[in-house]
């Protein structure tokens, strides 16, 4: 998947804004070594750095890492696959916001993080939980079927696991769960084209190899369906459900 870093920063900065709340669970301390997994354009990585911690940001997207490096030249960023990475140093803590659901093999992500943490190190992350943005994906799939692309509706775009599934994976990796919560967080999108922009950025995997005009028709149809349920008082909303975790490497 190719990430449009400009669209992300201009229309979807709420991802990092909400992520600031997750930083409260991380509570970064001066001089701690902290790893930000799926750092995107580096907004939250730089917030962590403000605490005086030494932060390293990794992301699978070269486009996002290029933008992060350009914006925050004082922070170390590198392109790495979250399911297969290592470092020649250990971290006091690892952090991740809105990343895990882009990875099918979340067990490997947890294992890689576990391996790079010091004993006693903490992992804090938030991700989309089971049934996250279900209305949006359903509307896109319905429009795809209407336009003759039923087979493509099986595309695995995200994996939203339940708290129970995540707990099993954490324990298998060796973590002890310190806190795990799930909550609904309807999220206001930006501007009159908020839903359209959201689909263009975050549901693009559905449209791989579908012609541009057809893709536009599908998106317009999905937006029209969603107007009945996800549009209120002139604002678009996405039906986000969050899973937030703090776990320790004992």
* Binding footprint of ligand BEZ on the chain (CB under 6 A): 98, 101, 128, 132-133, 158, 202, 240
Please state the closest distance from residue 11 (CB atom) to ligand BEZ, in A.
12
Please state the closest distance from residue 196 (CB atom) to ligand BEZ, in A.
14
| Residue 135: CB atoms within 10 Å | 17
Tokens of 65: 């890492």
> Which of 91, 160 has the CB closer to ligand BEZ?
160
Tell me if 60 sits within 8 A of 82, measured CB to CB: yes
Please state the closest distance from residue 29 (CB atom) to ligand BEZ, in A.
27
Where b means 16+ CB within 10 Å and e means fewer, 163-196 reads eebbbebbeebebeeeeeebeeeebebeeeebbb
> Which of 74, 154 has the CB closer to ligand BEZ?
154
> Which of 28, 128 has the CB closer to ligand BEZ?
128
In whole angstroms, what is the distance from residue 136 CA to residue 215 CA? Answer: 15
Please state the closest distance from residue 249 (CB atom) to ligand BEZ, in A.
25
Q: CB nearest ligand BEZ: which residue?
A: 128
In whole angstroms, what is the distance from residue 7 CA to residue 187 CA? Answer: 17
> Which of 106, 132 has the CB closer to ligand BEZ?
132
């Amino acid at each position: 998947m190719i990430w449009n870093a400009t669209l992300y920063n201009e229309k979807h900065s709420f991802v990092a804004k909400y992520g600031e709340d997750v930083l409260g669970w991380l509570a970064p301390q001066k001089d701690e070594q902290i790893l930000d997994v799926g750092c995107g354009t580096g907004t939250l990585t730089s917030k962590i750095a403000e605490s005086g911690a030494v932060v390293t940001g990794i992301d699978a997207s070269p486009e996002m890492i290029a933008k992060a490096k350009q914006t925050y030249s004082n922070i170390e960023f590198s392109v790495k696959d979250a399911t297969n990475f290592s470092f020649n140093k250990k971290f006091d803590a690892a952090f991740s916001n809105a990343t895990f659901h882009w990875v099918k093999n979340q067990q490997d992500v947890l294992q890689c993080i576990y391996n790079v943490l010091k004993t006693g190190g903490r992992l804090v992350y938030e991700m989309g939980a089971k049934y996250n943005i279900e209305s949006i994906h359903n509307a896109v799939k319905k429009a795809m079927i209407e336009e003759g692309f039923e087979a493509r509706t099986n595309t695995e775009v995200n994996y939203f696991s339940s708290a129970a599934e995540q707990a099993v994976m954490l324990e298998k990796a060796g973590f002890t769960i310190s806190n795990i919560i799930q909550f609904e967080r309807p999220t206001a999108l930006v501007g009159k084209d908020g839903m359209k922009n959201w689909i263009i950025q975050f549901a693009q995997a559905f449209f791989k190899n579908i012609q541009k005009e057809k893709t536009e028709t599908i998106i317009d149809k999905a937006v029209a369906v969603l107007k009945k349920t996800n549009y209120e008082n002139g604002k678009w909303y996405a039906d986000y459900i969050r899973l937030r975790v703090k776990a320790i490497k004992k």
